[in-house]
Chain A
Amino acid sequence: MFDWYFFGLLMSNGILIGLMYSLIALGFVLVYKATDAINFAQGEFVMIAGFLVAVALGLYGAPLWLAVGVGLAAMIGFGFGLERVVLRPLIGRPVVAVIMATIGLSAVLRGFGPLVWGAETRPLPLPISDEPIVWGPLFVPPIQILGAVVSLLFLAAFGWFFLKSRKGIAMRAVADNQQVAMAMGINVERYFGLAWAMAGVVSALGGIVWGSLLGVDVHLALVGFKVFPVVILGGLDSIPGAILGGLIVGLVENVAAGYIDPWVGGGTKDFAPYVLMIVALMVRPYGIFGQPTIERV
């Protein structure tokens, strides 16, 4: 007989994990939406933010609010600085150049984290209990609920930002056509910096949530690999797409892992989203909510 209880457990876990993926994918989407740049170092952003908070908490014994504040401030500064030093000289260059620059950046960050703060796994304790919340037949760890809530909050906040606020509309204008935006008196470069700083904020939150779930070490950067299936499924420039893509990836990987792992001996979690993504690329390359691009000679 089909085990509905097991299935429900996989589904609920998948939804919560999926929302946590959405949070990280959001950082990617923000940058792409505003600057047309592709960030292959999103996972490393999350890792560095996790390191910052974990080190501030563990090594220097800072209170939680201070550690989170330090993490956020550092990531905002990092975002602005990165845009100025690396990304701005690459404006107008082929897309491959930007991809490679962020791949290079990911290598730098992956070396930098363990070099400065050591290779061992650091805990990132948050003041919430480890006891899973039992809700009917389902039980979920509180950290996942926290992660899901933070994701939803920020997705809503950025949705509002892009739809209603003056800065958000300016950012959309920059993304749509840089030259026209410049002619309308928008300081394009400042908005590029702002977009990277926003990605830094989102990554800092992602780093706290994921770091607290998995522990902070260099492997934390691997969650970045999940960003690509999420954004491809949802559409690269779509915030609702990031939510939906995250949910789909979370569900698919949990259900696939639950039913296929016993047969093949593990690893389905990392594999299934990419198979799904390949199919999506063949059928609908610009994603569920993405804009198809029209190319002219």
Chain B
Amino acid sequence: MIHRESGILKTTYEADMALYPLPIARWTVAAIAAFMFLVLPLSVHEYWLSIVNLVSIATVGALGLNILVGYTGQISIGHGAFMSVGAYTAANFAVRLGFPFWLSLPLGGLMAAAVGAVVGIPSLRIKGLYLAIATLAGQLIIEWTINHVTFISGGVQASIEVPRPELFGYKIASQRQMYFFLLIFVVLALVATMNLVRSRIGRAFIAIRDHDIAAEIIGINIFRYKLLAFAISSFYAGVTGVLYTYYLGIANYEQYQITTSIDYLAMIIIGGLGSVLGSVFGAIFVTLLPILIRFAMEASGGLLFSEAAVRNIIPNLRLILFGMLIIFFLVVEPEGLNRLWRNIRSYFRVWPFAY
């Protein structure tokens, strides 16, 4: 947020650790909340809200992945699969046992957390490249299992239709209702993550990221915290999968393949590793990018190419831009969009003076 902090003297540790150290930050957050809860949903067409909904879902997943990759330094290429675990668990509970969403959603998250912790077990012996490959194996094995075990996947094209979620006997069907439904989870995920990373657990995660052997020597139980990071991160992923399932009305493994895992990795790298705000930026950016490409190509691509060519161009152009953005941010700005935002902020902090 753009504001000045002169005259703020902190006299206690509580004040120093507060989420919003400045009074004006509270007002900014209140203003954003008012905009998100009142102005945006009441003023915008349903189609735009459906896009915002996709951003909301991606935000939850990106926050979870950032806890693992950005804060704990353990890479995972298996997050798409963890999402599918959450999605199919919730869908099965909702359809077979008729569970309401507020039961099937945490169950999906917990199941994903359990599976994620199991996939994370190799992280105790291996790291870096080996861990990336082990989680890739996890992704492929989970995908294969869901695809081949009809008990999980429901048989017909490995997809299960779920009923619309109900809240206090009120069915959430339209995009506008879905918007509020998802926004609650985004707020929950944001607050939970911000509090997690400044707690004892979050500090242990950061210590493991910076140097795991050194962290072990100063008394951090690596076994516990690495698995905890995997479990928490997969819980977010599972919830993301459940939310996406309810959003689409169907659980389908095609939404959770390895490209999804890479999309989420792209989000946190483009947004900024180890930053809550960066996860949000990344989720917005990566979700909007294909939509913008589609708009641009549908508007002007027809002038240069045939219709069939445009259909070939859109997904491939998306892949190319994706990859180039990942490489660009890694090479030029490793701290991502969050860093750019901080630069803008610190420029305006002392504006109009140079320093």
Contacts and interface: CB of A to CB of B under 8 A. Distances in A.
Interface string B307-325: 0000011011111101111
A275 interface: yes
Given A103-B265, A119-B312, A93 B334 contact: yes
Interface in A234-282: 236, 264-265, 267, 270-271, 274-275, 277-278, 281-282
A107 B261 CA distance: 12
Contact of B134 (A103, A281, A296): A281
Contacts of A103: 77, 262, 265, 323, 326
Contacts, number: 128
A112 B318 CA distance: 10
A228 interface: yes
Given A103-B265, A115-B313, A282-B122, A270 B144 contact: yes
Given A96-B75, A99-B132, A232-B133, A108 B125 contact: no
B136 A264 contact: no
A101 B122 contact: no
Interface string A72-104: 000000000000001001100111110111011
A267 to B, nearest CB: 6
A271 B319 contact: no
Contact of B217 (A93, A108, A297): A297
B213 interface: yes
A275 B69 CA distance: 24
Interface in B103-135: 122, 125-126, 128-130, 132-134
B137 interface: yes
A274 B211 contact: no
Contact of A264 (B148, B211, B331): B148
Interface in B314-355: 315-320, 322-327, 330-331, 334
A277 B134 CA distance: 8
Contacts of A277: 133-134, 137
Interface in B66-90: 69, 73, 75, 77
B312 A95 contact: no
Given A90-B331, A104-B330, A107-B319, A115 B147 contact: no
B312 A118 contact: yes
Size range of the chain B interface in the assembly: 35 or more
Contact of B327 (A101, A110, A114, A265): A101
Given A96-B73, A108-B320, A297 B211 contact: yes
Contacts of A296: 213
B125 A100 contact: no
A277 B73 CA distance: 23
B140 interface: yes
Given A86-B327, A101-B330, A285-B126, A114 B312 contact: yes
B19 interface: no
Give the secondary structure class of A's interface. helix
A158 interface: no
Interface in A106-125: 106-112, 114-115, 118-119
B24 interface: no
Contact of A275 (B77, B141, B324, B326): B141
B318 A111 contact: yes
A105 B328 CA distance: 11
Contacts of A110: 319
A104 B316 contact: no
A96 B69 contact: yes
A267 B147 contact: yes
A104 B327 contact: yes
Contact of A281 (B130, B140, B211, B316): B130
B148 A267 contact: yes
Contacts of B133: 228, 232, 277, 281
B269 interface: yes
A79 B125 CA distance: 33
B214 interface: yes
A104 B326 contact: yes
A217 to B, nearest CB: 12
Nearest to B315: A111
A295 interface: yes
A55 interface: no
Residue in A108, A112, A114 with the greatest tally of chain B CB atoms within 10 Å: A108
Nearest to B320: A111
A281 B266 CA distance: 26
B144 A115 contact: no
A225 B292 CA distance: 31
Contacts of B130: 232, 281, 285
A38 interface: yes
10 contacts: A95-B129, A100-B269, A103-B265, A108-B324, A111-B322, A232-B133, A267-B144, A267-B147, A271-B144, A295-B213
Interface of B: 69, 73, 75, 77, 122, 125-126, 128-130, 132-134, 136-137, 140-141, 144, 147-148, 211, 213-214, 217, 262, 265-266, 269, 312-313, 315-320, 322-327, 330-331, 334
Given A110-B319, A112-B316, 7 more contacts: A96-B75, A97-B330, A100-B265, A108-B320, A228-B133, A264-B148, A285-B130
Interface of A: 38, 40, 86, 89-90, 93-97, 99-101, 103-112, 114-115, 118-119, 225, 228, 232, 236, 264-265, 267, 270-271, 274-275, 277-278, 281-282, 285, 295-297
